[in-house]
Protein backbone atom coordinates (compact mmCIF):
# COMPACT_ATOMS: atom_id res chain seq x y z
CA UNK A 1 0.00 0.00 0.00
CA UNK A 2 1.24 3.47 -0.77
CA UNK A 3 -0.04 6.74 0.51
CA UNK A 4 0.72 10.27 -0.45
CA UNK A 5 2.25 12.26 2.32
CA UNK A 6 1.15 15.77 2.94
CA UNK A 7 3.80 18.46 2.76
CA UNK A 8 6.12 19.08 5.66
CA UNK A 9 7.38 22.42 4.48
CA UNK A 10 8.65 24.81 7.08
CA UNK A 11 6.41 27.64 8.22
CA UNK A 12 6.70 30.99 6.44
CA UNK A 13 9.34 33.26 7.86
CA UNK A 14 8.10 36.06 10.11
CA UNK A 15 10.13 39.20 10.41
CA UNK A 16 12.91 38.61 12.95
CA UNK A 17 11.78 39.04 16.53
CA UNK A 18 8.03 39.17 15.82
CA UNK A 19 7.09 35.67 16.93
CA UNK A 20 6.86 36.54 20.60
CA UNK A 21 3.87 34.35 21.47
CA UNK A 22 4.40 30.66 20.79
CA UNK A 23 1.82 29.29 18.37
CA UNK A 24 -0.59 26.71 19.82
CA UNK A 25 0.12 23.06 19.07
CA UNK A 26 -1.77 21.57 16.13
CA UNK A 27 -2.57 17.87 15.95
CA UNK A 28 -0.06 15.86 13.97
CA UNK A 29 -1.72 13.75 11.31
CA UNK A 30 0.01 10.40 11.62
CA UNK A 31 0.69 8.70 8.31
CA UNK A 32 -1.70 5.74 7.93
CA UNK A 33 -0.49 2.36 9.18
CA UNK A 34 1.55 0.42 6.65
CA UNK A 35 2.02 3.38 4.35
CA UNK A 36 5.27 3.67 2.49
CA UNK A 37 6.13 7.15 1.26
CA UNK A 38 5.44 7.55 -2.45
CA UNK A 39 9.01 8.48 -3.30
CA UNK A 40 11.03 6.89 -0.47
CA UNK A 41 14.29 8.49 -1.51
CA UNK A 42 12.88 11.97 -0.77
CA UNK A 43 12.40 11.24 2.90
CA UNK A 44 14.53 10.99 5.97
CA UNK A 45 13.41 8.77 8.80
CA UNK A 46 14.64 8.89 12.36
CA UNK A 47 13.56 6.50 15.03
CA UNK A 48 15.20 4.70 17.91
CA UNK A 49 15.05 2.92 21.21
CA UNK A 50 16.20 3.19 24.74
CA UNK A 51 18.97 0.71 25.45
CA UNK A 52 17.24 -1.29 28.17
CA UNK A 53 18.30 -4.77 27.03
CA UNK A 54 17.50 -7.11 24.18
CA UNK A 55 14.46 -6.40 22.01
CA UNK A 56 11.57 -8.87 21.98
CA UNK A 57 9.18 -10.22 19.36
CA UNK A 58 6.75 -7.37 20.04
CA UNK A 59 9.45 -4.88 19.06
CA UNK A 60 10.26 -6.91 15.99
CA UNK A 61 6.74 -7.09 14.59
CA UNK A 62 5.82 -3.66 15.94
CA UNK A 63 8.67 -1.56 14.58
CA UNK A 64 11.96 -3.25 13.74
CA UNK A 65 10.69 -5.11 10.70
CA UNK A 66 9.15 -1.88 9.40
CA UNK A 67 12.41 0.04 9.79
CA UNK A 68 14.20 -2.55 7.70
CA UNK A 69 11.44 -2.22 5.10
CA UNK A 70 11.88 1.57 4.97
CA UNK A 71 15.65 1.23 4.72
CA UNK A 72 15.30 -1.33 1.92
CA UNK A 73 12.86 0.94 0.07
CA UNK A 74 15.59 3.58 -0.10
CA UNK A 75 14.55 5.92 2.72
CA UNK A 76 17.53 7.66 4.33
CA UNK A 77 17.26 6.12 7.80
CA UNK A 78 18.72 7.13 11.18
CA UNK A 79 18.49 5.01 14.32
CA UNK A 80 19.20 6.59 17.69
CA UNK A 81 20.28 4.54 20.66
CA UNK A 82 18.80 6.86 23.28
CA UNK A 83 21.26 6.34 26.10
CA UNK A 84 20.54 9.66 27.86
CA UNK A 85 16.93 8.54 28.15
CA UNK A 86 17.72 5.65 30.48
CA UNK A 87 19.65 7.51 33.17
CA UNK A 88 16.43 7.90 35.12
CA UNK A 89 16.27 4.09 35.39
CA UNK A 90 18.93 2.94 37.86
CA UNK A 91 18.84 -0.76 36.97
CA UNK A 92 19.49 -0.02 33.33
CA UNK A 93 22.10 2.66 33.88
CA UNK A 94 24.27 0.14 35.70
CA UNK A 95 24.91 -1.98 32.60
CA UNK A 96 24.61 0.58 29.86
CA UNK A 97 27.34 -0.70 27.52
CA UNK A 98 25.91 -4.23 27.64
CA UNK A 99 22.46 -2.93 26.78
CA UNK A 100 23.78 -0.81 23.92
CA UNK A 101 25.60 -3.81 22.46
CA UNK A 102 22.50 -5.99 22.70
CA UNK A 103 20.39 -3.39 20.97
CA UNK A 104 22.93 -3.02 18.19
CA UNK A 105 23.02 -6.81 17.75
CA UNK A 106 19.24 -6.94 17.44
CA UNK A 107 19.30 -4.18 14.82
CA UNK A 108 21.98 -5.80 12.71
CA UNK A 109 20.58 -9.32 13.01
CA UNK A 110 17.15 -8.04 11.93
CA UNK A 111 18.57 -6.58 8.73
CA UNK A 112 19.57 -3.03 9.59
CA UNK A 113 22.45 -2.34 7.21
CA UNK A 114 24.98 0.12 8.65
CA UNK A 115 25.98 1.15 5.15
CA UNK A 116 22.47 2.52 4.57
CA UNK A 117 21.22 3.27 8.09
CA UNK A 118 23.10 5.56 10.45
CA UNK A 119 23.08 3.93 13.87
CA UNK A 120 24.37 6.16 16.67
CA UNK A 121 24.14 6.87 20.39
CA UNK A 122 22.89 10.36 21.14
CA UNK A 123 25.41 10.82 23.94
CA UNK A 124 28.17 10.50 21.32
CA UNK A 125 26.90 13.43 19.23
CA UNK A 126 27.69 16.68 21.08
CA UNK A 127 26.02 19.06 18.60
CA UNK A 128 22.76 17.12 18.84
CA UNK A 129 22.73 17.67 22.57
CA UNK A 130 23.53 21.34 22.21
CA UNK A 131 20.27 21.82 20.31
CA UNK A 132 18.53 21.03 23.58
CA UNK A 133 19.24 24.53 24.94
CA UNK A 134 17.55 26.61 22.25
CA UNK A 135 14.78 24.02 22.09
CA UNK A 136 14.10 24.31 25.81
CA UNK A 137 13.55 28.02 25.31
CA UNK A 138 10.70 27.24 22.92
CA UNK A 139 8.59 25.13 25.24
CA UNK A 140 7.05 26.02 28.57
CA UNK A 141 7.32 24.21 31.89
CA UNK A 142 3.53 23.78 31.83
CA UNK A 143 3.72 22.07 28.46
CA UNK A 144 6.44 19.72 29.67
CA UNK A 145 4.46 18.97 32.81
CA UNK A 146 1.29 18.05 30.99
CA UNK A 147 2.98 15.86 28.36
CA UNK A 148 1.10 12.53 28.75
CA UNK A 149 4.17 10.41 28.01
CA UNK A 150 6.22 12.21 30.65
CA UNK A 151 3.35 11.92 33.13
CA UNK A 152 3.10 8.22 32.45
CA UNK A 153 6.83 7.71 32.94
CA UNK A 154 6.73 9.59 36.20
CA UNK A 155 3.85 7.40 37.36
CA UNK A 156 5.83 4.27 36.49
CA UNK A 157 9.22 5.38 37.76
CA UNK A 158 9.97 3.88 41.11
CA UNK A 159 11.78 6.96 42.31
CA UNK A 160 11.03 9.16 45.25
CA UNK A 161 11.49 12.37 43.26
CA UNK A 162 11.39 13.30 39.61
CA UNK A 163 14.62 14.56 38.04
CA UNK A 164 14.88 17.59 35.79
CA UNK A 165 16.14 15.30 33.02
CA UNK A 166 12.80 13.51 32.93
CA UNK A 167 11.05 16.78 32.05
CA UNK A 168 13.49 17.52 29.26
CA UNK A 169 12.77 14.24 27.43
CA UNK A 170 10.32 15.81 24.95
CA UNK A 171 12.77 18.61 24.05
CA UNK A 172 15.71 16.21 23.92
CA UNK A 173 13.75 13.85 21.71
CA UNK A 174 13.03 16.84 19.46
CA UNK A 175 16.81 17.27 19.17
CA UNK A 176 17.15 13.57 18.29
CA UNK A 177 14.67 14.00 15.47
CA UNK A 178 15.48 17.51 14.21
CA UNK A 179 19.28 17.37 14.22
CA UNK A 180 19.07 15.38 10.97
CA UNK A 181 15.87 17.13 9.78
CA UNK A 182 13.93 13.88 9.70
CA UNK A 183 10.45 14.30 8.24
CA UNK A 184 9.06 10.87 9.19
CA UNK A 185 9.23 9.24 12.60
CA UNK A 186 8.02 5.64 12.99
CA UNK A 187 6.74 5.38 16.56
CA UNK A 188 4.10 3.70 18.68
CA UNK A 189 1.01 5.52 19.98
CA UNK A 190 2.72 6.13 23.32
CA UNK A 191 5.29 8.42 21.65
CA UNK A 192 2.82 10.70 19.87
CA UNK A 193 2.96 13.41 22.58
CA UNK A 194 6.76 13.59 22.14
CA UNK A 195 6.31 13.92 18.41
CA UNK A 196 3.76 16.67 18.95
CA UNK A 197 6.30 18.49 21.13
CA UNK A 198 8.87 18.09 18.35
CA UNK A 199 6.50 19.63 15.82
CA UNK A 200 5.72 22.48 18.17
CA UNK A 201 9.41 23.19 18.75
CA UNK A 202 10.20 23.02 15.03
CA UNK A 203 7.35 25.39 14.19
CA UNK A 204 8.22 27.90 16.89
CA UNK A 205 11.89 27.85 15.92
CA UNK A 206 11.01 28.49 12.29
CA UNK A 207 8.60 31.28 13.21
CA UNK A 208 11.10 33.01 15.42
CA UNK A 209 14.37 32.50 13.56
CA UNK A 210 13.51 31.53 10.00
CA UNK A 211 12.82 28.22 8.28
CA UNK A 212 15.34 25.61 9.38
CA UNK A 213 13.38 22.52 10.43
CA UNK A 214 10.68 20.33 8.90
CA UNK A 215 7.64 19.49 11.04
CA UNK A 216 7.98 15.73 11.15
CA UNK A 217 5.08 13.33 10.89
CA UNK A 218 4.53 10.11 12.80
CA UNK A 219 4.52 6.85 10.91
CA UNK A 220 2.37 4.51 12.96
CA UNK A 221 3.05 0.81 12.88
CA UNK A 222 0.55 -1.44 11.14
CA UNK A 223 1.30 -4.36 13.44
CA UNK A 224 -1.38 -5.45 15.89
CA UNK A 225 -0.46 -5.41 19.55
CA UNK A 226 1.41 -8.57 20.46
CA UNK A 227 0.56 -10.13 23.80
CA UNK A 228 3.09 -11.68 26.14
CA UNK A 229 3.05 -15.21 27.52
CA UNK A 230 0.76 -14.08 30.36
CA UNK A 231 -1.79 -12.66 27.91
CA UNK A 232 -0.87 -9.07 28.94
CA UNK A 233 0.96 -6.58 26.69
CA UNK A 234 4.38 -8.00 25.78
CA UNK A 235 6.91 -6.03 27.78
CA UNK A 236 10.34 -6.80 29.16
CA UNK A 237 9.52 -5.36 32.56
CA UNK A 238 6.56 -7.73 32.94
CA UNK A 239 8.76 -10.79 32.37
CA UNK A 240 6.33 -12.10 29.74
CA UNK A 241 8.37 -11.47 26.60
CA UNK A 242 10.31 -13.66 24.20
CA UNK A 243 13.59 -12.03 23.22
CA UNK A 244 14.40 -11.79 19.55
CA UNK A 245 17.72 -13.51 20.26
CA UNK A 246 16.31 -16.23 22.56
CA UNK A 247 17.37 -19.78 21.75
CA UNK A 248 14.89 -22.32 20.36
CA UNK A 249 14.86 -24.07 23.75
CA UNK A 250 14.22 -20.87 25.69
CA UNK A 251 11.40 -20.06 23.28
CA UNK A 252 9.85 -23.51 23.80
CA UNK A 253 10.13 -23.20 27.58
CA UNK A 254 8.50 -19.73 27.63
CA UNK A 255 5.68 -20.80 25.36
CA UNK A 256 5.01 -23.99 27.34
CA UNK A 257 4.25 -21.77 30.33
CA UNK A 258 2.03 -19.40 28.35
CA UNK A 259 -1.46 -18.64 29.63
CA UNK A 260 -4.27 -20.39 27.73
CA UNK A 261 -7.67 -21.71 28.81
CA UNK A 262 -9.46 -25.01 29.30
CA UNK A 263 -11.50 -25.04 26.09
CA UNK A 264 -9.94 -27.69 23.82
CA UNK A 265 -11.40 -26.20 20.67
CA UNK A 266 -9.07 -23.45 19.49
CA UNK A 267 -10.78 -20.31 18.19
CA UNK A 268 -9.57 -16.78 17.48
CA UNK A 269 -11.49 -14.60 19.90
CA UNK A 270 -9.23 -11.82 21.25
CA UNK A 271 -11.88 -10.38 23.59
CA UNK A 272 -12.90 -13.57 25.37
CA UNK A 273 -9.79 -15.74 24.89
CA UNK A 274 -6.79 -13.37 25.05
CA UNK A 275 -4.24 -16.09 25.84
CA UNK A 276 -5.15 -18.44 23.01
CA UNK A 277 -5.69 -15.56 20.58
CA UNK A 278 -2.35 -13.95 21.44
CA UNK A 279 -0.56 -17.17 20.58
CA UNK A 280 -2.51 -17.52 17.34
CA UNK A 281 -1.58 -13.95 16.42
CA UNK A 282 2.11 -14.60 17.06
CA UNK A 283 2.02 -17.74 14.90
CA UNK A 284 0.12 -15.89 12.20
CA UNK A 285 2.73 -13.11 12.05
CA UNK A 286 5.48 -15.72 11.69
CA UNK A 287 3.68 -17.83 9.11
CA UNK A 288 1.93 -15.13 7.08
CA UNK A 289 -1.45 -16.85 7.55
CA UNK A 290 -4.56 -15.57 9.31
CA UNK A 291 -5.12 -16.49 12.96
CA UNK A 292 -8.59 -17.81 12.05
CA UNK A 293 -7.10 -20.17 9.52
CA UNK A 294 -4.59 -21.49 12.05
CA UNK A 295 -7.32 -21.92 14.67
CA UNK A 296 -9.37 -23.98 12.21
CA UNK A 297 -6.35 -26.15 11.46
CA UNK A 298 -5.73 -26.88 15.14
CA UNK A 299 -9.44 -27.49 15.77
CA UNK A 300 -9.90 -29.41 19.00
CA UNK A 301 -6.20 -30.18 19.36
CA UNK A 302 -6.19 -28.03 22.50
CA UNK A 303 -3.56 -25.77 24.03
CA UNK A 304 -0.79 -28.36 23.69
CA UNK A 305 -1.14 -28.54 19.93
CA UNK A 306 -1.43 -24.75 19.72
CA UNK A 307 1.76 -24.22 21.71
CA UNK A 308 3.60 -26.75 19.60
CA UNK A 309 2.54 -24.94 16.44
CA UNK A 310 3.50 -21.50 17.78
CA UNK A 311 6.86 -22.72 19.01
CA UNK A 312 7.73 -24.21 15.64
CA UNK A 313 6.50 -21.10 13.83
CA UNK A 314 8.61 -18.75 15.98
CA UNK A 315 11.71 -20.92 15.93
CA UNK A 316 11.57 -21.43 12.15
CA UNK A 317 10.86 -17.79 11.41
CA UNK A 318 13.71 -16.50 13.56
CA UNK A 319 16.27 -19.27 13.00
CA UNK A 320 18.41 -17.37 10.51
CA UNK A 321 18.11 -14.05 12.37
CA UNK A 322 19.22 -15.78 15.57
CA UNK A 323 22.13 -17.53 13.87
CA UNK A 324 23.26 -14.18 12.46
CA UNK A 325 22.90 -12.57 15.87
CA UNK A 326 25.04 -15.26 17.54
CA UNK A 327 27.70 -14.87 14.88
CA UNK A 328 27.78 -11.07 15.18
CA UNK A 329 28.00 -11.33 18.96
CA UNK A 330 31.37 -12.99 18.58
CA UNK A 331 32.75 -10.03 16.62
CA UNK A 332 32.82 -7.23 19.12
CA UNK A 333 35.39 -5.25 17.16
CA UNK A 334 32.94 -5.08 14.26
CA UNK A 335 30.14 -3.89 16.56
CA UNK A 336 32.35 -1.16 17.97
CA UNK A 337 33.28 -0.09 14.44
CA UNK A 338 29.64 0.09 13.33
CA UNK A 339 28.83 2.39 16.22
CA UNK A 340 31.95 4.48 15.78
CA UNK A 341 31.18 5.06 12.09
CA UNK A 342 27.51 5.79 12.83
CA UNK A 343 28.42 8.25 15.57
CA UNK A 344 30.84 10.03 13.24
CA UNK A 345 28.28 10.30 10.45
CA UNK A 346 25.60 11.59 12.83
CA UNK A 347 28.07 14.06 14.34
CA UNK A 348 28.86 15.57 10.94
CA UNK A 349 25.15 16.06 10.24
CA UNK A 350 24.56 17.51 13.71
CA UNK A 351 27.48 19.94 13.33
CA UNK A 352 26.04 21.25 10.08
CA UNK A 353 22.57 21.70 11.62
CA UNK A 354 23.94 23.40 14.73
CA UNK A 355 25.89 25.75 12.50
CA UNK A 356 22.69 26.63 10.65
CA UNK A 357 20.88 27.11 13.96
CA UNK A 358 23.60 29.42 15.27
CA UNK A 359 23.45 31.40 12.07
CA UNK A 360 19.64 31.70 12.23
CA UNK A 361 19.85 32.78 15.87
CA UNK A 362 22.59 35.32 15.24
CA UNK A 363 25.06 33.39 17.36
CA UNK A 364 27.94 33.06 14.91
CA UNK A 365 30.49 35.51 16.24
CA UNK A 366 33.71 34.54 14.55
Buried b (16+ CB within 10 A) or exposed e, 67-87: bbebbeeebbbbbbbbbbbbe
> Quick count: other Cβ atoms within 10 Å of Cβ 231?
19
Q: Which is nearer to ligand TRP, 201 or 295 (CB)?
A: 201
Q: Which is nearer to ligand TRP, 50 or 69 (CB)?
A: 50
> Smallest distance from the beta carbon of 250 to ligand TRP, in angstroms?
24
> Smallest distance from the beta carbon of 168 to ligand TRP, in angstroms?
12
Q: Which is nearer to ligand TRP, 110 or 314 (CB)?
A: 110
CA atoms of 365 and 328, how far apart (whole Å): 47
Angle of helix 302-329 relative to helix 332-361, nearest 10 degrees, comes to: 80
> Smallest distance from the beta carbon of 195 to ligand TRP, in angstroms?
8
Q: Which is nearer to ligand TRP, 49 or 183 (CB)?
A: 49
Q: Which of 43, 66, 31, 75 is nearest to 181 (CA)?
A: 43
Beta bridge partners of 192: none
Q: Which is nearer to ligand TRP, 49 or 101 (CB)?
A: 49
CA atoms of 157 and 151, how far apart (whole Å): 10
Q: Which of 317, 330, 333 is nearest to 244 (CA)?
A: 317
Q: Which residue is nearest to ligand TRP (CB)?
A: 82
Q: Which is nearer to ligand TRP, 56 or 273 (CB)?
A: 56
CA atoms of 149 and 151, how far apart (whole Å): 5
| Interface residues toward ligand TRP, by CB under 6 A | 46-50, 80, 82, 85, 173, 176-177, 185, 187, 191
> Smallest distance from the beta carbon of 84 to ligand TRP, in angstroms?
9
> Smallest distance from the beta carbon of 201 to ligand TRP, in angstroms?
13
CA atoms of 186 and 191, how far apart (whole Å): 9
CA atoms of 63 and 40, how far apart (whole Å): 17
> Smallest distance from the beta carbon of 80 to ligand TRP, in angstroms?
5
Amino acid sequence: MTATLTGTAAAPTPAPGTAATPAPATAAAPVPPGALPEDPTRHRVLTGDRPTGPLHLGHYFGTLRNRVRLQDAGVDTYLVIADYQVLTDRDVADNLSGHVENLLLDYLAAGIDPARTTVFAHSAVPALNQLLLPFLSLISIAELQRNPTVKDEIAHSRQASVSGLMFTYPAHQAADILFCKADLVPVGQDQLPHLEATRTIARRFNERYGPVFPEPQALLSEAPLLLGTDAGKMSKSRGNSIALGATADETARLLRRATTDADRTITYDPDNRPGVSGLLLLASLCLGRTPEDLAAEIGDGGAARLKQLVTEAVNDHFASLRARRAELARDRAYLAEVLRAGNARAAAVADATLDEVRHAMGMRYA
